Amino acid sequence: MKYLFTATFLILFVSCKENAPKPLTAQEIVDKSIEVSGGQLYKTHSTGFAFRDKTYYSKNENGKIVLDRVSDLDSVIIRDVKNGNDFERYVNDSLVTVPDSMAVRYANSVNSVHYFARLPYGLNDGAVNKELLGKETIGGKEYYKIKVTFDQQGGGDDFDDTYLYWFDIESFKVDYLAYDFHVNGGGQRFRKAYNERYVNGIRFVDYENYKPKSEGSDILEIGQLFDKGELELLSKIELIDIQVE
C-alpha cells in the first residue's frame, strides 16, 4: 500500500509539473503589452498630439514611420522631420541647413517625445535588448519588471542608457518606467502613468516624472525608492489634443 501511494503521488506530481504553464519570457510580456495597447494600429494609423508648446505627428509613409514636430513661434513655423536616420528642418515651409551636431540634437528630441508617447510599441525595435528581472511589488500591486538596454548599432546616441519597465501581471499594461542617462551630468528618472485613455484603439497615458532625492542610488532599486517615498516629483508630462486617424 505504501509503495502504491508513493507511485501514485509521483505520477500526479510529474503530471502537474508537465501541465503547469511555462513562465512568460520578456519578449512574450512585451508582445502582450503592445497588443493590449494598440497592436497593429501603431503601424497603420497616424497620430498627433500637443505637448507643452509644440505639436507632434507620426505617420506611416511607404512602410517607414515619419516623425514630425511643429513649433509655432509668432510668425515663424518650424517643422522638424525625422525620417529613419535622416533629419530635416523647415522654416515657414522652406528647407534650411542645420549643422550636423544640432541636427542630431533636434532629431533625438523629436524621437524622445514620440518614443514615450507610443510606448510600449518601441520596445520591439531591432536594437532593443530585453531581460526579465522577475516580479516586483509597487503600491501593493505586482508587476513584471523588465530591463531594457540598446545595441550601439541602431541604438541612437543614448544607447548606453538603461531603462526599466513595470508591466501589470494581469493586464500587461505599463504602469511605471524608469531610466538612467549620462548627458548633462547624468541622473535617473522614474515615471508613473496616469490618465489612461484609448483614442481609436491606441492607448495614451500621462506621466508623473520623479527623480531620487539622494544621488548615487542604483537604478534597479528605483521602484522600491518610489514605494518608500524617496523620490521627488519634478514635473508632469501631459499630452493634449490627441488625434488618431
Q: Domains of the chain (ranges plus CATH)?
A: 25-244 (2.50.20)
Residue position matching grid coordinates 526599466: 164
Alpha-carbon span 81 to 84, nearest angstrom: 10
Report the b/e string of 106-120 with b at 16+ CB within 10 A. bbbebbebbbbbbbb
Report the b/e string of 150-179 with b at 16+ CB within 10 A. beeeebbebeebebbbbbbeeebbbbbbbb
**Predicted pLDDT of residue 123:** 96
Better-scored residue on pLDDT, 14 or 57: 57
Neighbouring residues of 214: CB distance < 8 A, sequence distance ≥ 6: 230
DSSP-assigned beta bridge partners for residue 47:
58, 244
Res. 12: pLDDT tops 70: no
State pLDDT tens for residues 181-193: 877 777 899 999 9
User: What share of the chain in percent tops pLDDT 70?
Assistant: 88
Q: Which of 235, 189, 192 is nearest to 212 (CA)?
A: 189
Average pLDDT over residues 175-183: 91
**Predicted pLDDT of residue 243:** 96
